[in-house]
Amino acid sequence: MMISFYSAREEPYGCFSNFSRHGIKIDGVWWPTSEHYFQAQKFAGTPHEEAVRRAYSPKQAAEMGRDRSRPLRSDWESVKDDVMLRAVLRKFETHAELRELLLSTGDEEIVENAPGDYYWGVGRDGSGQNKLGQILMEVRSILRERGR
């Protein structure tokens, strides 16, 4: 069996989406969603970082993060996977109900069924890299090794 998710509104696995309304605290700063944190890190150390943190919704944060009129940090391509891992791990460390749901997936493959995303998701035809699904499975392993 494979566990698939995309929209934050889907049950039961929509909470695996970075758009789910589960805030995280990283380096003493509260982020409304893991999407806010991830997108803001594209501009770490600039006023754009705080602007993205204050975005009204995760969708708005994502749009701001993709806005190339904002100065993307030069090392982004080399750090983005680690930034995503940090955000996703913190989300599941913070919210016990999400942690239990993730751990309940056993060894099933987790897939972000995002039709337009061939990096974080599997894309429309299933050929994408599914990096977010891989990170969720890595977080599941980390949590399991820690004994939750």
- Residue from 146, 133, 130, 136 nearest 102 by CA: 136
Decide if 57 is inside a domain. no
Look at the alpha carbons of 59, 64, 67, 72 in this order and tell me if their dihedral is positive or negative: negative
- Model confidence at 1, pLDDT cuts 50, 70, 90, reads confident
Decide if 62 is inside a domain. no
Decide if 52 is inside a domain. no
Q: What is the pLDDT of residues 44-91, one digit of tens each?
A: 999 999 999 999 999 999 999 999 999 999 999 999 999 999 999 999
Question: Is omega for the bond preceding 12 within 30 degrees of 0, making it cis?
Answer: yes
Decide if 94 is inside a domain. yes
- Model confidence at 110, pLDDT cuts 50, 70, 90, reads very high
- Whether residue 130 contacts residue 112, with contact meaning beta carbons closer than 8 Å, is answered with yes
Q: Which domain holds residue 108?
A: 2-31+76-145
How many domains does the chain contain in total?
A: 1
Decide if 121 is inside a domain. yes
Decide if 69 is inside a domain. no
Give me the CATH number covering residue 123: 1.10.357.40
Decide if 19 is inside a domain. yes
Decide if 112 is inside a domain. yes
